[in-house]
Structure 1
């Protein structure tokens, strides 16, 4: 008895000690759930990667296992965490795409309802913040001392295996449960590092969470930004990744750098601050509008729609809105009145003054005056909402009623079979007649059916007609409207093409999986029968140098027949498979292509296709050679963070490759040199490459570089190149310090004169920019101050310091606008206020006076800021009907009222 008690006591001590030891061990897990910043220095935190809490231990859901070994180039590797995950219906990568985002041009290897998650920005941001949408983990373990591992309790099916170690990583997709002796060979992987900063400057956002997620298999990897906004994640296996950055008080951002990442990447993730937005909705009579739904959409691709309701005073509030351009709109319940407004200023309050909507009525007739039934009238999309544009269909009497209509101008399209399409542009002024009749010209038509070789009708076939007469003159179509130039066959394979004249030409028919057809036709014609042949096909697999299937590869089949210029494209599936069908016989070049941070990689082989043949081809990427070098300054000292890119020289590009991407690391990215200036380019297979390099504030100097042959823009390197040094010179700088009259720094912007590019912002008023020798002059702007213009003079390549620039504050005048025809409030009415030069001195030696294009505020007024201390004449114009009135502002007026006259009867 005593011996049994002692044994149990010893066992308990061992368990307690074991648990205590586990709590003390450092953990470097692959997927966080509730990460917390560690009490370490900023530098130490910036180096820690996804050091967060681990998954809960998965509950076994089956009886199968996967066993194997983890190795690297030196042998077996212990202590590597291995997980088995599998995408399901709730996983981000598997969720169906919203209808507006479905890619109707997606290749056959992509599921019909699939949508790249980069397009669902708001949905991705919401789910990642809620820690949802990740592929579930079914089993996890750590490799033993001899590198072996066993994943237990798996159900049947295939899994993605992730092996994440301190010095390498690998992901193996589609490993069936029950597999044995699976070899996971660690690759070097890549580190993703960067900064999280505010969108309008470089201020870091400490404590921001960065989640890196694999697009295809949706695994999450987290990091917390340090005090300088720095973070690092890795090493991760190569693949497609998104970055999701979030912080309290900031709009969560979804970012994507390179389509395929297999080497270290440095990113700058910029977030927009969230703010409180208030507004007011008024009826057309200027009274508060109660109980209406206000819609708001930020100016972001894929941004979610927000809604709220107005209170008894017509007021509304949105509590969290990104500090960007926001567009708001509102309808009354009867949809007879509409209002909209935009804002991006933090302090501005929105005023939505609703205006009555109109309906357009009339009759559509043919050229003989007979009413036409079944004419479809469509208005070009008018409002920013998701509602379809207004449409109407004429009845037996040719009558239509179209609306509700908003906006000052209308674009209306009229279509009907056997008649020429028509596009009308109308001005929706107050004097626009509510009755508007249209006349359509009769067309001559080509009608028929598209079938396959078995006689089955084909839907969705694109058809177009080319006139022989126009082809001889170099024209590509013989229509008066684009909408008559093309059509698509319906479910029964029927098609109709209308023309404005009798003619002869060719009818072209194209459909996926079929060879294109060209048929001689005359206009008019009926019962034209177009037969499409399925043609030849080529399918196969893309593999790496070790024979493993590759994903994220584009397959291009180039037609090498002289003068063809055609290319068929497909994207490989999760198993590296591809299939191209509907091909005509002839010689082709089959190419597998993908873009990585440092270069475009490709492999190709010729394919000769015969009629109705089915070719099977395997494309293998070669391992290639590795090129190492350094980025240095003119003194030979390392320059870190330089983007280096390798490209095949244009003269070496094969003739069949019609499209060659530009060799520019600023646009296409590149591998980044490390802290010691070293960089590595892998998988080089061409005889010669040209290298280009870029870093902000530096200029690549090929003539001063070593290890290759220089031209004006790049360094050409061949196999065996040694002591490769890419020299980057310091770029000349343009400097300035902007202050107010009291010498205090002034938040301002600098733009290059006569150049259509965004201005550079300087919240602290200090500018230190790369100077381009082409800059002739700059304009400095600050809210409430007169613009300053300065010439940029200096020798090419030299710094230019504009010194301290003192800006003069302008005066502000509050301008109230009244309407003689309507004594009520003018709040929310859109107006233009522009300088009127007819009575102003010429030439104008004062700074440019301000302009205003927007809506009157809740008091029916606007603030004109930055006015010169002289008398100036302005024109106030109502946007809705064009009525206007001039107003003179003397040098000291602070409040002015202008009344726009009523329209003469």
Structure 2
């Protein structure tokens, strides 16, 4: 039963004392509540208004960008009383800003380290009254300057947190030595042995008359580095550094091959025109956001051409709503293919609440290996159908995307994912029922990150031994629900269903039965880093905790 509720009016003030319009505010309960984020968020002339707030202690957080490469955070606790309205002013008026932090970063050999990410922090943004953060990258001489930090002791992190330095409040200069920051270097040449003047390595563009590059291996290794140049096939080189500086043999770019093909229906007749065709590297099939894909579109006769295709094992994939799907390996030497579409499996089912009452307007998606699948929305009778490649292990999940048209937001509903697999043309029954349970889990990060993902699985589950197995576990796991109702859709970007759960700062898992669970935090930015948090839910209510960034000390690193 809900306790009596009150109203909180929050005004966000800028450093000069003026009012901040559309501020980035967050309200978080510090005492147990019926449901985190169940209050109604609105705005009046000069304040953010939270209505329906249960009695208890809360933390209000205001984050404000200062310049292009820094931000300030302030936290204020407020106690709400039943039936009362509280007013809170929160901001940065009169806070002293320290002089820019300047410094130089060198390696163990004393040579400057260029293009390395540097972060500096003052205070703890999750709980301190005031905190600040600034970031940048070193220049060619290893120098950096971080501006708009608040006064106080600083924590400086180098290379995605792989090295940390504590500085006192009076520090104005930071000369840092990073003893082991492996780099790879070498030349990129064409088939004739002449250097290429413009190319990219690991998504960084280089322009060099001699075709030279130097790349810092931030994160985990071994690393697979993509080498790209216009008019050539992408070359992937896996690197395991054995010293601080690793000299690679010349990377000889190849024009690759031209692959020609035709798509036909199962009966051999020409398929519907304009079918999209994708060519995906075998090792990239399980990535959250595949980065090695080559795409094209078949013409009216079903024919297609893919140019500059690497001479490596890849997967050809094509799909059409009417005729089905085909996924087949492309051999290293193949340059002509015929693709025959196979009728899809269709997951046909219903969505209902715990009493069996149909639920309308529930968005669903089927996920299969390689991020293939379909999407649908339940009708007035709770019915849906989802296309998926025949013969594939797939999972149905509810995707609670928030969009502007959805305001006021519908009640948060939670479902277990369901797996299915079917033969060509088969309809597989899949019925989802509302998940019920007295417990909830709320997982929060120090900050959001686009490459980060949080999932929950039932039971005490160890970290898988490979990246492929970890990605399979993520596919089958429970995803976080949509963000709490305190953020109106007009204050956030529209989400794409395929990446809605990636990178949220606050992650909610509601209506959980008591028992054992495991939360996995996965970051697929510079190699796969995983953190595991076992949970034993023995009592009802919200179980909230904050997790570290995956690349901080203590993570498990997985290779393909």
TM range (shorter): 0.3 to 0.5
TM-score with structure 2 setting the length = 0.44
Higher RCO (C-alpha under 8 Å, 6+ residues apart):
2
Larger Rg: 1
